[in-house]
Every structure is written in C-alpha cells, then in structure tokens.
Chain A
C-alpha cells in the first residue's frame, strides 16, 4: 500500500497569486499523478510526474500554469500559478503501485480563489 499526505489541506488565495501544493508518499514510487476535481465533478488528470523527467501534461493543462517538480521518488509539488476563481477546486495527488495494480490518492487540497 501507499500512504499519501498533502499540504496544505486547504487554502484561500487571492487572484493573481500562486500556491504550491506538496505531496509526500511513504514509499518510493515511480509514477505520481496530479488531478483536479471541481465541485460536483469527477477527477481530471492534470499531469503525470515521473522522477528524473519532465512532467507530461494532459490536453488543456500547460506547464506555465501548473509547474510540477519531482525531485525524488517520494515527493512532488504542483504549483497553481496566477490563480483565478476558475482554479477553485480540489487538487489530488495520486500514485500507482504497479506490483499491486492499485492506485492510491492523497486527501486532496481544497483551493478557493477569491
């Protein structure tokens, strides 16, 4: 299994500012993912972050807006840049443990942009 923690758990930010979300896993994993979940909606994949390589972004998401770091096999950060109210959402970190064919999710970071 994998236990994931995220910081902060929630934040209220002003438009135009940036917020960096941290994701820490209790074991080494190759693949980490960042998702966004808007109110009442399902999860949408933002990007895949593999250690030692550039993150791979999904259609509609760009590195300038959502820069990601993956310095080692247990940690990643997602920055939401130049925020607008449309960025208000829950941001979730996830990892895949391939030997278990299982995907684990962090508790999420609830972001409100005013």
Chain B
C-alpha cells in the first residue's frame, strides 16, 4: 500500500472556479510535506513545503493545509486559471536523514475555459 495517497485521481473544473486536492499519508514520523506542480513534459516544481508544526502555507493562489494528527494535507487552488492545468503531486519525507522521500501518484487537474 502506498504511504502517500492522493485524491481525486483526476479533476476537471471551469476556469475561475476553486478546487481542493487531498493527500493522506501514513509516513510517521515525518520531516516535511511538499506539494509540487508538474506541467506536461516538464519536471515537478515546488509549490509549498510544510513541516509537521505548520498548519497552512500559501503561495499566491495556492494554499496548502496540514493536519499532522489525522495525517492529511490539502491543496486549495483559488480562482483557477488555464495555466493551472497540470498534475499536482504530494511528497512526504520521513524524519531521519536516511528516510526516503515518498511520492503520491498525483492528481491530474484540467481547467476548462
């Protein structure tokens, strides 16, 4: 079973609408949780990074939340734009320096005009 599960697998919304992507993880203890945006044909680009003590972090129209008790994170996108069409990947790193970085399978987001 993957230690980082994302939902939904894919999502289509209209331009200008908001959406929320979910990430549940079992990695424990963990060092940090990141959200990446991956455009088609490109490498992932970091949007936010949160440690276990942080509850929320914003980057423009992107706001990530973290509940370390329930091991859940969400990425909220406000006033979506066509350029937001991409895959969004949740990544969790374990606590020790030898811990692996676990990637979620991503949510494929499509913004329709």
Q: B21-53 interface mask toward A, CB cutoff 8 Å, 1 = contact, 0 = none?
A: 000000000001010100001111110010000
B106: min CB distance to chain A, Å: 6
B interface size (C-beta, 8 A): 17
Q: A42-B103, A45-B100 are in contact. Are A102 and B49 (CB under 8 A)?
A: yes
A106 is contacted by which of B43, B46, B89 (Cβ under 8 Å)? Answer: B43
A26: min CB distance to chain B, Å: 14
Q: A101-B49, A102-B49, A103-B101 are in contact. Are A43 and B41 (CB under 8 A)?
A: no
Residue numbers of B with Cβ under 8 A of A are: 32, 34, 36, 41-46, 49, 89, 100-101, 103-106
Chain A interface, DSSP helix/strand/loop, else mixed: strand
In the assembled complex, the Cα of A4 lies from the Cα of B103 at a distance in Å of 20
Residue numbers of A with Cβ under 8 A of B are: 4, 41-45, 92, 94, 101-108, 110
In the assembled complex, the Cα of A103 lies from the Cα of B89 at a distance in Å of 13
In the assembled complex, the Cα of A16 lies from the Cα of B28 at a distance in Å of 42
